[in-house]
Structure 1
Amino acid sequence: MSTAPRIDIDPVAFWADPYPMLAKMRKEAPIAFVPQLGSTLLTSRDDISISEKQIDVFSSHQPAGLMNRLMGHNMMRKDGDAHQIERRAMFPTVSPKTVKAHWTALFQAHADRIIEGIQPGSRIDFMRDFALPFSGECLKSITGLTNIGFADMDGWSQGMIEGIANYGGDPAVEARCHAATSGIDAAIDDILPVMRKHPDQSILGVLLASDMPMESVRANVKLAISGGQNEPRKAIAGTVWALLTHPDQLDLVRKGEQGEVTWLEAFEEYARWISPIGMSPRRIAKPWSIRDVTFETDERVFLMFGSANRDEKHFERADQFDVRRDTSKSVAFGAGPHFCAGAWASRAMIADVALPTVFARAKGIELADDEPVRIGGWAFRGLQNLPVRWLQ
């Protein structure tokens, strides 16, 4: 175990709002062992940015980790050449060129179709009625699993996300994760004959064409689903909520064509402010020290991205949402060799399609006052609902 000072947390309060405790850690013990999580947490943006690039020490390869055990050994849990080989195999699907030339138009078609189904003047849950199905339909296209429904995609993603954050070992959570991965395997098996006969630009299509071992294909499709549904869904709804609760900033974005603020800048600021991916685990690969803290081989550390993105040393008024902010030091998509491979697709889904389409197609959209907005999570954080009135 590391020699970091011990800090106790209330897991329930930490799930509800981790930011006060993370701020305390940054001030008093930026590297701290938290027994309730069984891990040493790095909360300083500088420590995290440096450590994430030191893959010989802070290794993503975690044979006994929850993701490996529950989802299979994917590229996120590999380092060096093993990681790069699988990343390069997936790149033809998620490259900026492919996203612009192929996926963005399809994303737009999904958004238009879903919005057409929203009744003008209705009260809706924006999370349930737009963000969830839009993310799901986009992910069906990208993964190649067009033989399922968006609700299946969402349920599987949530099941895996909860499973790999199940540090308390809840057997019911683990069972739901196993059910999700079994469902994905069945969907892959169902569409394999078609995909082998008619390969396409989807993740499944390009990974099969690369002759990657089938167990790695399955693991990487599961990886894409775990993050590709959960994070965009929450970021779309969260950015809409942030803009609706900051109408002056929404006005700035709507005037973006006149040189104010872009939809992408609004999304990037939301992803800094409430990081959908709040943490990434690492395994210490060899004895190491950071200042006066020493680490032992094979112990677990958490890189707290959500804390890094509110580090007062780099972001003034870090607890405030401000679309005019310079977010260049944000680590919302990670840093170093494990920078999110789906970043370009996410930006296109959210900033190029979802946000401008929603605010253009709805003559008015306002928060409903009959239900509170719920938000939670620390490893993966975001809105649970978003009640609005759709004033077309």
Structure 2
Amino acid sequence: MSDAPRVDLDPAELVADPYPSLARLQAETPIAFVPQLGATLITRRNVIFEQEKRIEVFSSRQPQGLMTRLMGENMMRKDGEEHGAERRACFPAYSPRTVRDRWSDAFRKAAQDALEDMARQGQCDLVRDYAMRLSGEALRAITGLHGLTWQEMDAVSQGMIDGIANYSGDPCIEARCLAATARIDAAIDAQLSEAPEMSLLDVQMRAGLPMDSLRANIKLAISGGQNEPRDAIAGCAWALLAHPAELARVRAGEASWQDAFEEFARWIAPIGMSPREVAREDVVEGVRFDPGDRVFLMYGIGNRDPEVFERPEVFDVTRDTRPSLAFGAGPHFCAGAAASRSLIAEVALPMLFERFPGMELAGPVAFTGWAFRGPKSVPVRLGGAV
């Protein structure tokens, strides 16, 4: 077992707001074993960036990990050529060209439909009425699982997310996760004979991937491709409304919607960590790691490292976010990054603020989670629609 210093953290405090506790850890004990999580946490940005690439030590393979046990062994839980082969098989569904030529119109249609429905209301919740819907519709298009409604897409995604973050071993959470994966398997089975062209289902079938891998990679796409855009769309809209000077900078052309999205994803990372398993003994920053140790690469607090980002706790749309870890680093950089950026920065945010220029917050907004973090709701008064 790693000889990292032991530091106790309260999981409830992490769920409510992980940043104060993790900032202290980063400043005082940047590599620490947290018994409540059963893992050694690495919290400094540059150390995470360097070590994530060392797959021979910090392996993504976790045969007994929650994601593998509950969702199957997807490409995110593989390394080297095995990972590369599946990534190449999936890439045609996610490529910037496919996103531009095939999915962007579907994104705009989904946004337009949601905005039309919202315009008939004086007040709405951007999580439920906009972000959740757009993310679900985008995933229906990209995965090819048209048999799932956008509401079902969000439900099965949340079930899996809760399951793979269930480090306390709650049996009810695990049961909901397994029910979610069973629903996805049924949707895959129903679509096999009519896989939409260039969908994730289609490109994996044409590449000849084994069915177990195909299923696991679709579940991976749903688990990450629903909550991250959902939380980023609603969260970034909230951040801009809560920081009107930053919104004014975007509207004045001093920063782009892309800048606003990238800064929000740095500031409040929708995906706060990535787990690894130690494959062989090694020493990092004076800390010994032993085979079998569980390690969490803490992206969220890494994105607030004061050695890399000036005033990291401040939301600043003009910041240089290139060092951000929001999409990961190294060979496991988010495969769906182009789709996410298109959906959020090219469609969801500009269309929302253009349609409702007088939109304002209508109540308090609470965020939750540390492995995955997002707003529970974002109530807004829409004002006059354009």
The TM-score range, normalised by the shorter chain, is over 0.9
Partner of 1:60: 60
Mapped pair 1:116 → 2:155 = no
Q: 1:201 aligns with which of 174, 191, 198?
A: 198
What are the superposed Cα offsets for residues 36-77 of structure 1, whole Å, 9 maximum, x if unpaired?
000000001111000100000000001110000000000000
8 Å contact from structure 1 (residues 281, 302) kept in 2: yes
**For residues 378 and 127 of structure 1, what CA distance do their matches in structure 2 show?**
18
Partner of 2:305: 311
Q: How does 1:182-331 map to 2 (within 5 A)?
A: 182-195=182-195, 199-256=196-253, 260-331=254-325
1:119 positional shift: 3.4
Q: How does 1:1-392 map to 2 (within 5 A)?
A: 1-120=1-120, 122-195=122-195, 199-256=196-253, 260-369=254-363, 372-391=364-383, 392=385
User: What is the one-letter code of the residue matched to 1:268?
Assistant: E
1:120 positional shift: 4.2
8 Å contact from structure 1 (residues 132, 233) kept in 2: yes
**For residues 245 and 363 of structure 1, what CA distance do their matches in structure 2 show?**
14
TM-score by length of 1: 0.97
1:121 positional shift: 5.3
**For residues 340 and 315 of structure 1, what CA distance do their matches in structure 2 show?**
22
User: What is the one-letter code of the residue matched to 1:231?
Assistant: E
1:292 positional shift: 1.8
What are the superposed Cα offsets for residues 100-159 of structure 1, whole Å, 9 maximum, x if unpaired?
121111111111111111134511111100111111001100000011111100000000
1:276 positional shift: 0.4
User: What is the one-letter code of the residue matched to 2:240?
Assistant: L
**For residues 118 and 19 of structure 2, what CA distance do their matches in structure 1 show?**
35
**Closer, same or farther: CA 121–211 of 1 in aligned 2, 3 Å:** closer
What are the superposed Cα offsets for residues 251-290 of structure 1, whole Å, 9 maximum, x if unpaired?
111122xxx1000000000000000000000000000101
Which stretch shifts more, 41-50 or 116-125? 116-125
What are the superposed Cα offsets for residues 169-225 of structure 1, whole Å, 9 maximum, x if unpaired?
000000000000000000111111222xxx511100111111100111000000000
**For residues 284 and 198 of structure 2, what CA distance do their matches in structure 1 show?**
43
The alignment yields a C-alpha RMSD, in angstroms, of: 0.8
SS of residue in 2 equivalent to 1:269: helix
SS of residue in 1 equivalent to 2:168: coil
1:291 positional shift: 2.6
**For residues 100 and 285 of structure 1, what CA distance do their matches in structure 2 show?**
39
User: What is the one-letter code of the residue matched to 1:373?
Assistant: V
User: What is the one-letter code of the residue matched to 2:269?
Assistant: S
User: What is the one-letter code of the residue matched to 1:224?
Assistant: A
SS of residue in 2 equivalent to 1:53: coil
**For residues 121 and 32 of structure 1, what CA distance do their matches in structure 2 show?**
49
**For residues 238 and 167 of structure 2, what CA distance do their matches in structure 1 show?**
30
**For residues 342 and 249 of structure 2, what CA distance do their matches in structure 1 show?**
20
**For residues 324 and 82 of structure 1, what CA distance do their matches in structure 2 show?**
39
**For residues 285 and 147 of structure 1, what CA distance do their matches in structure 2 show?**
40
**For residues 4 and 268 of structure 1, what CA distance do their matches in structure 2 show?**
32
**Unmatched 5+ stretches in structure 1:** none
1:363 positional shift: 3.4
**For residues 235 and 250 of structure 2, what CA distance do their matches in structure 1 show?**
15
**Closer, same or farther: CA 356–4 of 1 in aligned 2, 3 Å:** same
8 Å contact from structure 1 (residues 2, 294) kept in 2: yes
8 Å contact from structure 1 (residues 120, 390) kept in 2: no
Q: Matched residue pairs, number?
A: 384
Which stretch shifts more, 358-367 or 340-349? 358-367
Which stretch shifts more, 290-299 or 62-71? 290-299
**For residues 366 and 277 of structure 2, what CA distance do their matches in structure 1 show?**
33
User: What is the one-letter code of the residue matched to 1:239?
Assistant: C
SS of residue in 2 equivalent to 1:118: helix
**For residues 102 and 194 of structure 1, what CA distance do their matches in structure 2 show?**
17
**For residues 151 and 6 of structure 2, what CA distance do their matches in structure 1 show?**
41
**For residues 114 and 147 of structure 1, what CA distance do their matches in structure 2 show?**
20
SS of residue in 1 equivalent to 2:296: strand
SS of residue in 2 equivalent to 1:283: strand
